[in-house]
């Protein structure tokens, strides 16, 4: 399970890095940096929590942390490399960017619902405590609202 989470985060980070590296307009770069900061922070916390729960050996945890740390800069380097032949406003570029953004969003939704939240929401302690369920659902909706607000701003 954790390897699927790591793979999803790696793919998402590369895609977001490419978007940031290929962008040339400050109006595009500033919101992307803000979104990237929040995404990387929360993805790192989620991945770190999963690594701790899985009780990996130090070497495996260090390799996973290294991959997580390097994927966004690699994506940015790819984006910078293609920016010379990349017309940000062409219809092809907009379609490709839309597909990449949709894939990234799908990966994040899958990881959040299946890899991270499912185990917590299916926990017997959660299942038997109505107050805890209400609190968890409210927290989930507030978090989703905040991320949607960030996406609207970005």
- 68-92 confidence digits (pLDDT tens): 889 889 999 998 898 888 777 788 8
For position 136, what pLDDT does the model report? 92
Confidence of residue 154 (pLDDT cuts 50, 70, 90): low
Q: What's residue 148's pLDDT? A: 82
Q: Report the C-alpha gap between 66 and 119 in whole angstroms.
A: 26
Angstrom distances, CA of residue 19 to CA of 34, 89, 133, 137: 13, 13, 37, 32
Is the pLDDT at 12 greater than 90, yes or no? no
Mean pLDDT over 93-115 rounds to 79
- What DSSP assignment string belongs to 108-139? HHHIIIIIIIHHHHT-HHHHH-HHHHHHHHHH
- Dihedral Cα 146, 148, 149, 152, nearest 10 deg: 160
Q: How far is CA 97 from CA 20, 82, 88, in A?
A: 11, 13, 9
Roughly how many angstroms between the first and final C-alpha of the chain, as a whole number?
Answer: 30
Name the least confident of 69-73, 114-118, 145-149: 114-118
DSSP for residue 84: T
What are the residue ranges spanned by the domains of the chain?
A: 2-110
Average pLDDT over residues 9-18: 82
Prediction pTM value: 0.71
Q: Shortest CA distance to 107 belongs to which of 80, 132, 83, 71?
A: 71
Place of tokens 């490399």: 81
Residue indicated by tokens 């701790």 = 52
**Looking at the predicted structure, is the pLDDT value of residue 1 above 70?**
no
Q: What percent of the chain has pLDDT over 90?
A: 15
Tokens of 29: 């770069």
């Amino acid at each position: 399970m954790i390897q699927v989470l790591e793979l999803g985060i790696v793919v998402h980070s590369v895609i977001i890095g490419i978007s940031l590296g290929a962008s040339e307009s400050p109006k595009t770069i500033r919101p992307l940096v803000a979104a990237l900061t929040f995404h990387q922070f929360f993805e790192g916390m989620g991945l770190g929590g999963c690594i701790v729960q899985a009780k990996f050996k130090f070497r495996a945890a260090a390799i996973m942390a290294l991959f997580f740390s390097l994927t966004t800069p690699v994506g940015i380097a790819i984006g910078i490399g293609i920016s010379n032949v990349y017309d940000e406003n062409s219809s092809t570029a907009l379609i490709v960017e839309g597909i990449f953004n949709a894939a990234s969003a799908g990966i994040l939704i899958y990881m959040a619902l299946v890899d991270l939240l499912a185990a917590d929401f299916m926990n017997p302690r959660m299942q038997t405590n109505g107050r805890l369920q209400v609190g968890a659902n409210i927290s989930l909706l507030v978090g989703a609202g905040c991320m949607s607000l960030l996406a609207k701003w970005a």
